Structure 1
Amino acid sequence: MRDRADVGSVLGEYYALEGLDLVAVDGGADLGASLWRATDARGRRFAVKWSSSGSPAGLVLPAALNAVRPASAPEPLLTRTGAWWVDTGGARLSVMEWVEGTSAMETSLERKGWHRLGQLLAALHELPLQGEVLSQVPREDFDPGQWARLFERVDAELDTAPADQIGRRLAGLWHQNRAELRAVYRRTLELAARLRKREDLPSFSACHADPHLGNLIVAADGRPILIDFDDAVLAPRERDLMFVLGGGVLADMAATGEQQRWFLEGYGHHEAGAELLTYYRGLRVLEDASELAGIVLDLGNTDEERHEALGHVSAVFSPTGLLAQAQSAAVSR
C-alpha cells in the first residue's frame, strides 16, 4: 500500500484536483493495487487506483460503454494532458468517478434488476470492436497457464502437512476435494487445447470478465452500474455469461433458475456454448481455489486474512460452489 503523501503528490502532478482528502480503501481482490477514495475541495468523490496489474482495458471499456449506455460504468477522469491514465512509479495511476449506490450483494435485484443486468451486459457485448477497444483490450488466447501453474504449486505444497492449525484445516478441505479438483484441472487444460484449435468459435465481444454481484452497484434509481473492469478481455460472450448461467460464481448467492430467466429476458436470445461455459467455469475454479489457498499458506499474511481466505475456499467447495458447478457441467456435456 502506497502512503497518502505519495499518492497525493502524484495526483497533484498529473490531475487538476485540489484540496484532496484521501482515504485508503481495503478489501479489493487486486493484490497488485492500492485503492483510495478521494474527495476534492468541491465535494466530488473519486476512486484512485495505482495498479501494477491488469491493463488499460479497465479504463477504455467503461468509457466506451458509457458512450452508448450512459452512466452504466464509472467514468475515467482525464489527466492534465487529456489521457485516461498515467504510467508512473512502475505502475498505472488512474482516477474514476466514485460510484454511489448499494452493492448488489447487499440488496435484492428482483425481476427488474436481473432484467436490467441482462440489458447492461448485452450492451457491453454489442460494443463495436474498433479504436481503443480493439487496440487496448487484451484478446482471449485460451491459455490457462497462469492458473494451472498456481494450482500445481499449491497442490504440491499441500502434500506436506502445514505447520499451523489454519493451514491444516485448508489441507483437510483440499484433500477431501482433491480428486474433483484434479479432474477439473485436467479437463480445463484439455478444453483449452481444443478451443485454441477450433475454427468455429463464436465471434468475440468486449467482456467484463468478472461481472459477479460484488462488481455491480445499484444506484438510487435502480440502475445497475458495473465496476472494476480490470480483467476486461475480448472473448466469446460465455466469458461473462458464466457468472449468471449455471448459478454463477457466488456460492452463498447462487443465481436461481428464475433469476437466470429474468436475466435472459433482458439479455436476449443467445445459444450458450457448453464447451466454452465448461472451460471458463473450470478456469475460475483453478483461479479461486488456488489463489485463496495460496493466501492461507502464506504465513506472512495475518491470521484474519488467512481465516477469511479459508472461508472463501470452503465456499468454492460447498454444494452450491464453483467446484460442484464445474462437476455438474462436465456431467451434462
Structure 2
Amino acid sequence: MLRDMPSQVVRWVRVDFGLDLTTLDEVTHGADQHARLWLGQTADGTRYAVKLSGGGTPAGLVVTAYLAGQGVPGVPAPLCTQDGRLSGDRDGRRLSVVPWVSDERALDGPMTDAHWRAYGEVLAAVHALPVSEELAGLLPPGGAAYPSIVAATRALAERLRDPAPADPAGPLVAELAAAWSAVTDAVALLTRQVERLATDERLWAGPVVVCHGDPHLGNLLLGPNGQVWLIDWDDAVLAPPECDLMFLLGGVLAFAPITAEQQRAALAGYGQVDVDPARLAWFLAVRALDDLSDWTRQALDTGAAAADRVRAARIVRGLVSPVGLVTLADVALRGLDG
C-alpha cells in the first residue's frame, strides 16, 4: 500500500460518495487479510466505516442493502455511490462506505440479556426473508469450500506429524505439532465425517435461507437498550439455518463456550428452532477444520509479522483445548452415533 493511502482514500470517498471526511483512522482488529478498514468522520461528527476490499465478491454489500431495505433490524445499509452503485471501483478493489453504528464490540464487552435476545431476533429476521433472484444467483452455498478445507487440514497434519528440524517456520512448528497431537483422533474423525456427510442427500433436504455465515461476537456491535448490529457480511451464503445457528447451539460464538443462560436469551429472541443434529454437526465440523487449518497456516507463515504469528498460534491452542471448537465439533459428531 502507498504511504499516502489515507489521503488517497479521502479523495476517493469524496469523488465516489460525495462525502468530505475530515479524519480517517485505520481500524486494525479485523481478520480479513485482503481488506483495509478505516473510521472516517465528517465535519458534523457523522462517522462511517470505510473499507477497501481486494478479495471476495460484492455479495456482502448486496445482501446488507437487501436486508436493510426489507426492514431487518440490526443490519447497517451501505451507502450508494453518486451514480447509484454499492461500491466504487479503485484499481480493481471495492471501496465501500457504511454508517459507523457503534464502538462497542460484543467480543470486548459484556452483553445483557436484552442484547442476547436482540441477537437472536436479528438472525430470525434474516432467516425468515424470502431469497431474492439476485441473491440466489450471487450467494454461494454454505459449506461449499469443504473439499479445499479438508485438503488443507490433511496437508498441515502431514507437515506437523513429523516436523523437520530445519523447517523455516522455526519453534512454532514444534509447538503447533504438540497442539495438534492432542487432537489427532478428533481431526481425523472430522475430516472423514465431513466428507461422508456431505454426500448424504438428507443433509440438504431442508430449506435454504440467507445466512450471515460468520455471526460470532467479533461481528456483533452493541448499543444502548439492547440494540445490536450484525456487521461484516462478506461470508454470506445460502444454506440451512444451522449454518448460522451453530454459533448459538454449537457454542462457537467466541473463544469460550456460550453459557446456557446466554443461549436461552438468544433463542428466546430467535423463536422456535427445529434443528437437524447431523446438519448442525456438519457445519460445526467444517468450521472447526477451516479455523484450525487457516490459523495454523497463519502461524507458520514466515512472511507475517512475529506478533501476528504468535497470536495465530495462541488461537490454535484455544481451538484444540477441551472447550475449543475442534473438541465441540468432535463431541457433536460422535453424538450422532449415540
**TM-score, scaled relative to structure 1:** 0.92
Secondary structure of the corresponding residue to residue 272 of structure 1: coil
Residues 1:241 and 2:245 aligned together: yes
Structure 1: state its 5+ residue gaps: none
What do residues 63-111 of structure 1 show as CA deviations (whole Å, max 9, x unaligned)? Answer: 2222344651222011010111133312222111112142112333233
Residues 1:166 and 2:172 aligned together: yes
Aligned-pair distance for 1:317?
0.7
Secondary structure of the corresponding residue to residue 84 of structure 2: coil
Aligned-pair distance for 1:314?
0.8
1:261 to 258, 261, 264: 264
Paired residues in the alignment total 330
In structure 2, the residue matched to 1:228 is 232
Give the Cα–Cα distance (whole angstroms) in 2 for the partners of residues 262 and 192 of structure 1: 32
2:196 to 171, 190, 207: 190
Give the Cα–Cα distance (whole angstroms) in 1 for the partners of residues 76 and 176 of structure 2: 37
Give the Cα–Cα distance (whole angstroms) in 2 for the partners of residues 141 and 23 of structure 1: 35
**Equivalent residues of 2:215, 2:253 under 8 A apart:** no
Higher mean displacement: 238-247 or 182-191? 182-191
**Equivalent residues of 1:101, 1:220 under 8 A apart:** no
Q: Give the CA RMSD over aligned residues.
A: 2.0
Amino acid at match of 1:201: A
Change (3 A) 1:199 1:187: closer
Change (3 A) 1:89 1:153: farther
Q: Runs in 1 of length 4+ with deviation above 6 angstroms?
A: none
In structure 1, the residue matched to 2:57 is 55
In structure 2, the residue matched to 1:15 is 17
Higher mean displacement: 90-99 or 227-236? 90-99
**Equivalent residues of 2:118, 2:269 under 8 A apart:** yes
Give the Cα–Cα distance (whole angstroms) in 1 for the partners of residues 202 and 113 of structure 2: 37
Higher mean displacement: 4-13 or 176-185? 4-13
Residues 1:201 and 2:205 aligned together: yes
In structure 2, the residue matched to 1:300 is 303
Secondary structure of the corresponding residue to residue 160 of structure 1: coil
Change (3 A) 1:318 1:249: farther
Summarize the alignment of residues 252-331 of structure 1 with structure 2, pairs less than 5 Å apart. 252=256, 254-331=257-334
**TM-score, scaled relative to structure 2:** 0.91
Higher mean displacement: 272-281 or 236-245? 272-281
**Equivalent residues of 2:209, 2:239 under 8 A apart:** yes
Aligned-pair distance for 1:199?
8.2
**Equivalent residues of 1:247, 1:255 under 8 A apart:** yes
1:80 to 79, 82, 91: 82
